[in-house]
Amino acid sequence: MAIRALFQQLYASEFARRSLLGLLIVVLFLGGVQLRRWTGEKTRHVRSQRDIDKQLSGIRAQIPNRLC
């Protein structure tokens, strides 16, 4: 019962509602940033085909034509 009364007081306060909403938005944003960093680290070895082709074309440009 005491917990229910506490939550009723929290939700009745306009400041508390706005504070909790702001906190939720900040937590979701920071969680998204952290998830993006984590997936970037885990998939660092994966490259798109376009990046690989671009690197190969750069390497081919450095090799003389007689060797290609």
pLDDT of residue 64: 61
pLDDT of residue 13: 81
pLDDT of residue 24: 95
pLDDT of residue 39: 87
Largest Cα–Cα separation, the chain: 86
pTM reported for the whole predicted model:
0.53
CA distance 19 to 47: 42
Name the residue ranges covered by the structural domains of the chain. 2-67
Half-sphere exposure (CA, 13 Å, Cβ side) for 65? 0
Task: Give mean pLDDT in consecutive 10-residue pieces for the chain, a chain of 68 residues.
Answer: 73 81 96 92 66 64 58
